Amino acid sequence: MNFLVFVLGLFLLAGCGTGAKPRQYTELATQTPQAPQEQMADAATQAPQGASNPHAGIDMSANITPDARANLQKMLAQGQDPHAGINMSDFMAGNPHAGLENSAMAGEALPSPYTWIIPQGWKQGPAKMMRLVSFYKEGAPDAFDCYIVALPGTAGGQEANLKRWMGQVDIDPSDANYQKLLDNARTIQTQGGLQARFYDLTLLQQEASDKSMIAAIIATGDTTIFVKMTGTRAHVKQNQKGFLELLKSLGLKP
The answer to whether the CB of 231 falls within 8 A of the CB of 143 is yes
The pLDDT of residue 103 is 39
The pLDDT of residue 242 is 97
The pLDDT of residue 35 is 37
The rounded Cα 42 to chain-centroid distance in angstroms is 25
User: Which tens digit of pLDDT belongs to each residue from 189-243?
Assistant: 999 999 999 999 999 998 889 999 999 999 988 899 999 999 999 999 999 999 9
- What are the angstrom distances between the C-alpha of 176 and each of 57, 130, 194, 208, 227? 41, 31, 29, 22, 24
* Domains in the chain: ranges and CATH: 65-252 (3.40.1000.10)
More confident residue, 119 or 46: 119
User: Which tens digit of pLDDT belongs to each residue from 81-105?
Assistant: 555 544 444 434 444 434 433 334 4
User: Which tens digit of pLDDT belongs to each residue from 32-79?
Assistant: 343 333 333 233 223 333 334 444 444 444 444 555 556 656 665 665
Model pTM greater than 0.75?
no
The pLDDT of residue 165 is 97
Which pLDDT band holds residue 112 (cuts at 50, 70, 90)?
Answer: confident
Q: Which residues contact 83 (CB under 8 A, 6 or more apart)?
A: 54
Give the containing element (helix H, strand E) for 128. none
**Position 182 pLDDT exceeds 90:** yes
The pLDDT of residue 11 is 44
Q: Which residues of 191-216 are buried (b: 16+ CB within 10 A; e: fewer)?
A: eeebebbbbbbbebbeeebeebbbbb
**Separation between Cα atoms, residue 137 and residue 24, nearest integer Å:** 77
**Position 183 pLDDT exceeds 50:** yes
**Separation between Cα atoms, residue 179 and residue 163, nearest integer Å:** 10
